[in-house]
Amino acid sequence: MKKGLRFSSLFAASALLLAACSEWTEYESLDIKTPSMDQGLYADYVKNLKAYKAGSHKVAMASFENVANGPTRQAERLTVLPDSLDVILLNNPDNLHAGYVSEMKKVREKGTRVGYAIDYATIEAEWTEMVKADASLTEEQALTYIADRTNEQLGLCDKYGYDGVVFTYVGRSTASMTEETLAQYSARQAAFFNTVATWRESHKSAFFAYRGLAQYVLAANKPLLADCNYIILETTSASNLSEMTIAASAAVDSGDVPADRFIVTTETTRYNDEDKIYGYLGTTDAEGNAERSIRGGALWVGQPSDFTRAGMLILNAQYDYYDNTPIYFHLREAIDIMNPSPKN
- Residue 37 banded pLDDT, cuts 50, 70, 90: low
CATH of 7-338, one of 3.30.1220.10, 3.40.50.300, 3.20.20.80, 3.30.365.10: 3.20.20.80
The CA distance from 315 to 30, in Å, is: 29
How many other C-beta atoms are found inside a 10 Å radius of the C-beta of residue 301?
A: 23
Instruction: State the pLDDT at residue 34.
Output: 39
Share of residues in the chain with pLDDT > 90 (%):
80
**CA-only gyration radius of the chain, Å:** 21
Q: What is the pLDDT of residues 310-325, one digit of tens each?
A: 999 999 999 999 877 7
Instruction: State the pLDDT at residue 122.
Output: 98
Q: What is the pLDDT of residues 199-219, one digit of tens each?
A: 999 999 999 999 999 999 999
Lowest mean pLDDT segment, chosen from 81-90, 117-126, 177-186, 276-285: 276-285
Lowest mean pLDDT segment, chosen from 174-183, 260-269, 333-342: 333-342
Of residues 26 and 195, more confidently modeled: 195
DSSP tag of 152: H
Q: What is the pLDDT of residues 19-36, one digit of tens each?
A: 334 333 332 332 333 344
Instruction: State the pLDDT at residue 25.
Output: 35
Instruction: State the pLDDT at residue 276.
Output: 87
Instruction: State the pLDDT at residue 342.
Output: 59
Note the Cα 163 to chain centre separation in Å: 13
Instruction: State the pLDDT at residue 325.
Output: 76
Q: What is the pLDDT of residues 99-154, one digit of tens each?
A: 999 999 999 999 999 999 999 999 999 999 999 999 999 999 999 999 999 999 99
Average pLDDT estimate for 233-242: 97
- Give the pTM: 0.88
Instruction: State the pLDDT at residue 274.
Output: 83
Q: What is the pLDDT of residues 289-312, one digit of tens each?
A: 899 999 999 999 999 999 999 999
Asked if the model's pLDDT at residue 229 lies above 80, the reply is: yes
